[in-house]
Amino acid sequence: MPSHHAPLAGRAAIITGSGRGLGLAYALELARQGASVVINDVDETAAQEAVSAIESTGGAAVAVVAPVGPTSTADALVAAALESFGRLDILVTNAGVLRDTVLWKMSDDDFDTVIDVHLRGTFTCVRAAATHFRDNGVPGRIVCIGSPTGQRGNFGQTNYSAAKAGIVGMVRTWAMELKKAGVSVNAVIPVAATAMTATVPYFAAAVEADAAGEPMPDFFRHDLGFGTSDDVAGLVAYLASDAAADVTGQALGIGGDRLQVWSHPEAVATAYHEGGWSFDTLTADLPGLLEGNLQSVGERFPALPESLVRPAPHA
């Protein structure tokens, strides 16, 4: 049961996509820290089960079953918090879908669906919450969920990488726009066992251990920074608390035993040419500027220890 002295006691939070997986872990942790929670999911059964899980430990929760993206859903989420709990203090934007395929096979619908849920859904929900915070003098906390794919790129995820990179870009802008109102906005970059990683052979030994309720091997938790949903939830709760009141505009990575501060993009090399850069001057000088400064793409994973290699599943 949440304590009246818990860091988030008396606060109310909205967590999108919180019927299962990472979103559910965030909801349970915020409730443990004292917050009342608006659960959101498109699966009514999952949403109601999440509410029941929170209520069974003495917490307070309600469900809004609706897809994020439309402004109407964002408005309904804010209304649910105000009607059920009389306030809104925290927003965590976690809802998402995947439509993975390579660029030349990706349909308009594949692209639009992922952008609508991840990027537009984050925008509409944050706009609704931020408007409430500013209009009512609430020093709100906004936590938007990014991904390593948005930071580094990933094969077959044009739509997802665009959405997740866009989310972090919006977070930086919102941190500036909402600073005067005392509202913090941060991004969390989780690395955890999810439905997506469960299908990747590289993570098979970690996923197996998690499913069996056993500790993940140290290689995953420490060397790779890969863990469970619960490993991520503490950071989300921290950023939602007064302890993080002065932290804003940041992208923080977490997974397993590892915590990271992601840098914002910065120029790594600079050159000048009086009168500007023509094709000829670029041909002559750009190779020298690029030498040693070309940036890598995608994530690079170390080789699995032999004891953790699992056979690839048969098609």
37 is written with which tokens?
A: 């929670």
Which tokens in the block code for residue 125?
């929900």
Strand partners, 241: none
Q: Which amino acid is at 310?
A: R
160, 184, 238, 241: the catalytic one is 160
Q: Please tell me whether residue 90 adopts helix, strand or coil conformation.
A: strand
Whether 143 and 89 have beta carbons less than 8 Å apart is answered as no
Tell me, what amino acid is at 163?
A: A
Is 63:41 a contact under the CB 8 Å cutoff? Answer: yes
Q: Are 202 and 237 in contact (CB under 8 A)?
A: no
Catalytic residue among 36, 147, 161, 184: 147
- Displacement of CA 249 from its chain's centroid (Å): 14
**Closest to 40 measured CA to CA, from 101, 119, 95, 112:** 95
- Nearest alpha-carbon partner for 81 in 27, 39, 135: 39
Q: Is 160 a catalytic residue?
A: yes
Paired residues of 259 in beta bridges:
254
Beta-bridge partner residues of 63: 39
Catalytic residue among 18, 164, 229, 241: 164
Element (H, E) at 206: helix 204-211
- Find out whether 277 and 289 touch, Cβ atoms under 8 Å: no
- Annotated active-site positions, please? 147, 160, 164
